Amino acid sequence: MKNRVNMMVVLFSLVISFLAAGCRSGSDTSGPIRIGQTVALTGERTSIGEYLAAGAKMAVDEINAAGGIKGRKVELIQEDSDDTNPAMVNAYNKVLSAKPVAILCNDVSTQNLAIAAIANKEKMPTFVGGTSPVLLQGNDWFFRFRPSDVLAAQASARFAVQTLGKKKVAIAHLTDDFGMAGRNFLTKYVTDFGGTVVSDESYNRLDRDFTAQLENIRKSGAEVIINWADTYTAATMMRQNKQLGINLPLIGSAAHGTPTTSKLAGEAAYGVYVVMDGVVAQVKDPKAEEWVKRFKQRYNKEPEFNATAAYDAIFLIKQAIENANGATDNESIKKGIFAIRGYSGIANIFKYENNGEGPRQVVIAQIQANGPIVKEAVKTE
Amino acid sequence: MLQLLINGLAMGAIYALVALGIVVIANAVNVVNFAQGENLMLGAFVAATLTLTFKLPILAAYVISVIVLAFYGYVFQRLAYYPLRQKPFITIIISTIGVSMFLKNIARIIWGAQPLYFSGLFGEKSIMIGRFAVNPQHLLILGITGVLFLFQHYFFNRTYLGRKMQATAQDQEAAALMGIKVSRMIAFTFIYSSMLAALAGVLLAPVFYVSADMGGMLGLKAFAASIIGGFGSVPGAILGGLFLGIVEILCAAYVSSLYKDAFAFIVLILVLALLPRGLFGEKISTKV
């Protein structure tokens, strides 16, 4: 009896090890290439998570339809990062266990920072959608697929002080990593360009009443407001700026220009300036126009920059692997990314050189009844 | 300053409405309904769907939403409270927390992730009085809270049904001995509380935008407001709410907007430390 049990155990282990050997990871030279994505599928920011997930899925499906990367199919593994740091960490770890070649993270800088230590330890190429300038400090495995806030802050400050000619600037911002870092760079650039910051007001992301903040801004004599917000707070600021009779010109961060925010803000959004990655619907490029048509056909809604960015990110990974001649281990992918010196995405240009600062362009657009109209495009080298 | 007071009062009135719903149930069955914020969210979503998808006029959407939530209130107490009514109150509180999580996620499944917006009853333009902008929706909120205060006073003190509900709240056993159908009174209490939540939700929709998470922080602050006003006291809930709304906005304007949410809870801690029975609370006495 004992012998038989022993035999069963040995046989069983042999079978398991054969199966395990067959299920090897994406760093193999055959089998599917796995790309992970942690994105908000539940929680407060699902309205953005949906677009990030949609853009990535569309890219993966199109790559597979065209034959995959170097003949290998791409598998997209999406995990829910909800809207909290712990959930993000869980999602990232779950995706890691599937051994992907790269992971796309959502657009929340705070949550990106939460997994930085893991990314560094695992040496996992991670594309971060957050725009905070601090994201790349010390994180050698982070690569941007959305432009840094340094670029956005610089463009907004210059637009306010020089283009609009308003020297007295009020800065309103969220209290999270994104908002605070944004405020720091805005203050620096407004002063650099010759303006003065006369008011600095902040709010939490669940705050829906900015009467106090706007009253203080009014009292300060500000001539323009630069607002660093997310979907709900952007809508609230745009509405109350008009409702309270303040009516100051407003330059907002990217969230001010998404279709979701426009629906919430309604007419209050008209005339507001937005600094955003790019307005894909405005790009006079057949590639972009075709892309918008495909997106609308597939998802039955207007795309926005998060979807475009995630789509570009997947193709950037594809480009990196091709640059590395099909190698998918992490060092090769990193070298492959650094070899990207001028990739034209759907609505942005990417150049990595020797760090993760890939996207090189932001635009300042003004929201009109029929959508955002680009006023200026700002590029860095 | 006047602008701050006007908006602070309006926000306070919302806290008061939600707090009322919490206090009414707490009085009746000695349980804090932590799903009150989510009931509010449900009311807002129902009204949003009626207005946006079915194109009903906004007033009709308000009224129908309140009626729908009345039915929901009955179902809610039947499923989440009634089977547990003999259990310790902590069990029932956890049950309401469970309902709150359930509602949040079911809302996401039914209505999707995108937030909704529909305008207030009087449109979106503010009324300008000199320099001060008054949002007509805020006036509506204040007005309805005032009417509700009077209505509740009349209903609970002067009508037979109201007095039966009060009796049940004071002492279920004695009420039963008096021939009052206790379970029916409890059902009415939940129905009334849900209708209050629906009212708060529809009034708040243009200010907070309708999303699955709109109720969370509100429910917490309303709970804090009811404690500040004296837990269990109906005028306390209303005045606690108004007080909280004003204090919050003044602190945000004159001290620091960075810590606006913190002020609400700092006030709560101060009240608990210095005046534990709240502004209008009854002396805490133990039954012997």
Q: What is the reported pLDDT for A313?
A: 94
- Flag whether pLDDT at B43 surpasses 90: yes
CA B274-B234-B86 angle, to 5 degrees, is 95
One-letter amino acid of B141? I
136-195 of A, contacting B, C-beta below 8 A? 175
Whole-number average pLDDT of chain A: 88
Helix, strand, or coil here: A82?
A: coil
Please give, rounded to a whole number of angstroms, the shortest distance from the CA of B235 to a CA of chain A. 25
- Flag whether pLDDT at A332 surpasses 70: yes
- Flag whether pLDDT at A355 surpasses 90: no
- Chain B residues within 8 A of A50 when measuring between CB atoms: 113-114
Instruction: Give the nearest partner residue to B260 out of A204, A245, A264, using CB atoms.
Output: A204
Q: What is the reported pLDDT for A345?
A: 87
Q: pLDDT band for position A91 (50/70/90)?
A: very high
| Structural tokens at position B117 | 């917006």
Which of these ranges, A168-177, A249-258, B206-215, has the smallest mean pLDDT? B206-215
CA gyration radius, chain A: 23
Contact A215 B105 (CB under 8 A): no
- Flag whether pLDDT at B77 surpasses 70: yes
Contact B208 A208 (CB under 8 A): yes
Q: B157: left (phi > 0), else alpha (psi -120 to 50), else beta?
A: alpha
CB contact B100 to A (< 8 Å): no
ipTM beyond cut 0.90: no
Q: Which residues pair with A225 in a beta bridge?
A: A170, A250
CB contact A235 to B (< 8 Å): yes
Q: Which residues of B256-275 are buried (b: 16+ CB within 10 A; e: fewer)?
A: ebbebbebbeebbeebeeee
Task: Pick the residue from chain A with its C-alpha nearest to B206.
Answer: A264
Q: pLDDT band for position A24 (50/70/90)?
A: very low
Contact B114 A47 (CB under 8 A): yes
Q: What is the reported pLDDT for B216?
A: 83
Please give, rounded to a whole number of angstroms, the shortest distance from the CA of A170 to a CA of chain B. 14
- Flag whether pLDDT at A343 surpasses 60: yes
Report how far residue A76's alpha carbon sits from residue A57's, in angstroms, rounded to the nearest whole number. Answer: 7
Q: In this predicted model, what pLDDT tens digit does every residue of B167-178 receive, in sequence order?
A: 887 788 888 888
Identity of the highest mean pLDDT range in A127-141, A161-175, B226-240: A161-175
CATH topology of domain A33-147+283-360: Rossmann fold (3.40.50)
Q: What is the reported pLDDT for A238?
A: 95
Report how far residue A276's alpha carbon sits from residue A274's, in angstroms, rounded to the nearest whole number. Answer: 6
Intervals of CATH 3.40.50.2300 along chain A: 33-147+283-360, 150-276
Q: In this predicted model, what pLDDT tens digit does every residue of A198-221 receive, in sequence order?
A: 999 999 888 888 988 999 999 999
180-209 of B, contacting A, C-beta below 8 A? 207-209
Contact A263 B117 (CB under 8 A): yes
Predicted TM-score of the model (pTM): 0.83
Q: What is the reported pLDDT for A222?
A: 94
Report how far residue A18's alpha carbon sits from residue A144's, in angstroms, rounded to the nearest whole number. Answer: 39
Report how far residue B50's alpha carbon sits from residue A184's, in angstroms, rounded to the nearest whole number. Answer: 44
CATH topology of domain A150-276: Rossmann fold (3.40.50)
192-211 of A, contacting B, C-beta below 8 A? 201-204, 206-209, 211
Which of these ranges, A49-58, A105-114, B112-121, B255-264, has the smallest mean pLDDT? B255-264
Mean pLDDT (whole number) for B233-261 = 85
- The residue extents of the domains of chain B are 14-215
Contact A156, A131 (CB under 8 A): no
Report how far residue A322's alpha carbon sits from residue A328's, in angstroms, rounded to the nearest whole number. Answer: 9
Q: What is the reported pLDDT for A9?
A: 67
Helix, strand, or coil here: A328?
A: coil
Contact A207, B208 (CB under 8 A): no
Q: What is the reported pLDDT for B81?
A: 86
Q: In this predicted model, what pLDDT tens digit does every residue of B120-150 receive, in sequence order?
A: 888 778 888 887 888 888 888 889 988 988 8
- Chain B residues within 8 A of A258 when measuring between CB atoms: none
Q: In this predicted model, what pLDDT tens digit does every residue of B195-210 receive, in sequence order?
A: 999 999 999 898 889 9
Helix (H) / strand (E) element for B102: namely helix B89-111
For testing the chain B interface, which of A174, A232, A243, A306 should be mutated: the one with the most B CBs within 10 Å?
A: A243
Task: Pick the residue from chain A with its C-alpha nearest to B128.
Answer: A245
Task: Pick the residue from chain A with its C-alpha nearest to B216.
Answer: A206
- Flag whether pLDDT at A329 surpasses 60: yes
8-47 of B, contacting A, C-beta below 8 A? 8, 11
Q: What is the reported pLDDT for A229?
A: 95
Q: In this predicted model, what pLDDT tens digit does every residue of B88-103 receive, in sequence order?
A: 888 988 999 999 999 9
Question: Could you give the percent of chain A with pLDDT greater than 90?
Answer: 56
For testing the chain B interface, which of A208, A209, A270 should be mutated: the one with the most B CBs within 10 Å?
A: A209
- Chain B residues within 8 A of A241 when measuring between CB atoms: none
Q: What is the reported pLDDT for A2?
A: 67
- Chain B residues within 8 A of A51 when measuring between CB atoms: none
Q: pLDDT band for position A23 (50/70/90)?
A: very low
Check residues A279 and A210 and name the one with the higher pLDDT: A210
Report how far residue B183's alpha carbon sits from residue B160's, in angstroms, rounded to the nearest whole number. Answer: 16
Mean pLDDT (whole number) for A64-78 = 91
Please give, rounded to a whole number of angstroms, the shortest distance from the CA of B223 to a CA of chain A. 17
Which of these ranges, A13-17, A94-98, A260-264, has the smallest mean pLDDT? A13-17
- Flag whether pLDDT at B287 surpasses 50: no
Which of these ranges, A15-24, A124-133, A225-234, B274-283, has the smallest mean pLDDT? A15-24
CB neighbours of A316 closer than 8 A, spacing ≥ 6?
A: A127, A143, A145, A337, A340, A343, A345, A350, A358
Q: In this predicted model, what pLDDT tens digit does every residue of A116-129 receive, in sequence order?
A: 999 999 999 999 99
Q: Are strands A224-228 and A126-128 parallel, antiparallel or unpaired?
A: unpaired
Report how far residue B5's alpha carbon sits from residue B235's, in angstroms, rounded to the nearest whole number. Answer: 20
Q: What is the reported pLDDT for B258?
A: 75
Contact B258 A232 (CB under 8 A): no
